[in-house]
Amino acid sequence: MEGSIEARVSHEVDLWLRWLPKWQPGTHRARMRLCRTCFGSPVIAAAGLTTDVPHAVQHSMSMRMKLIIDAAVDDYTDRNLPLLQRELEEAERRDRAQHYHPSEGLGPEAAGLELDPEPEDGHPFLFTLGELAAGSAPDAAGAAGRESAASAPELPLEPPPLSEEEKQAIRAEVRLADEFAQQVGRRVCAELVQHRERITAGVARYVEPQVVALLADLGRELDSPMWPSS
């Protein structure tokens, strides 16, 4: 990826602001669980998106910043942490050979969200993407597994076990990667603060009116004679 962290943040904020007018309420079902990426995120706080902002709007910002941080950490690892890089490549090769990954290659608006909608009572799914990704859907995964076993019988060999020294050395590299990620995260947040004004202006223009209209609709529904008063 080209350019400084700060330039990348500015660019991703541009893209997010371009996406914002397309956001509509109710295009996704309400989440039952809190999003681990957004809840309590310093990125969301730095962007000024903590209060009264729908999750989908926050999430798309979180994922854009996560892309920047992940890319910077990947690059750092590739250049400075050879043992960790080798482990990651090995793990990825084995993982690719064995699993189907429905959550890969999604845009920042959808990445990191639940793969499957909430099930409805009395309408069970035959299988879910979540199960498929975990390799536990009884038929679909079994069939896919058999098929891939038939077409690619050679899974990569298990690497030889690591010695205690190698493990220590890898742990030290993991610590360095963590520290670097923290550092980049702080730079991303500091830069986001610089863009907070245009971010909140975008929310005021494209998001708030829709939320207000939604609440007004809800209010009318609750006032209607069809709604049993208690």
Binding residues for Zn ion, per CB under 5 A?
35, 37-38, 59
Per-position b or e across 87-99, b if 16+ CB within 10 A of its CB:
beeeeeeeeeeeb
Q: Which is nearer to Zn ion, 33 or 123 (CB)?
A: 33
Tell me the C-alpha distance between 195 and 206, whole Å.
17
Q: Which is nearer to Zn ion, 37 or 77 (CB)?
A: 37
What is the closest distance, in whole angstroms, from the C-beta atom of residue 129 to Zn ion in the complex? 18
What is the closest distance, in whole angstroms, from the C-beta atom of residue 198 to Zn ion in the complex? 21
Burial (CB count within 10 angstroms: exposed 0-12, middle 13-18, buried 19+), residue 154: exposed
Q: With beta carbons less than 8 A apart as the criterion, state whether 141 and 135 touch.
A: yes
What is the closest distance, in whole angstroms, from the C-beta atom of residue 177 to Zn ion in the complex? 23
Burial (CB count within 10 angstroms: exposed 0-12, middle 13-18, buried 19+), residue 182: exposed
What is the closest distance, in whole angstroms, from the C-beta atom of residue 67 to Zn ion in the complex? 14
Tell me the C-alpha distance between 89 and 84, whole Å.
9
Q: Which residue is nearest to Zn ion (CB)?
A: 35
Q: Which is nearer to Zn ion, 177 or 207 (CB)?
A: 207
Q: Which is nearer to Zn ion, 37 or 128 (CB)?
A: 37
Q: Which is nearer to Zn ion, 63 or 84 (CB)?
A: 63
What is the closest distance, in whole angstroms, from the C-beta atom of residue 139 to Zn ion in the complex? 32
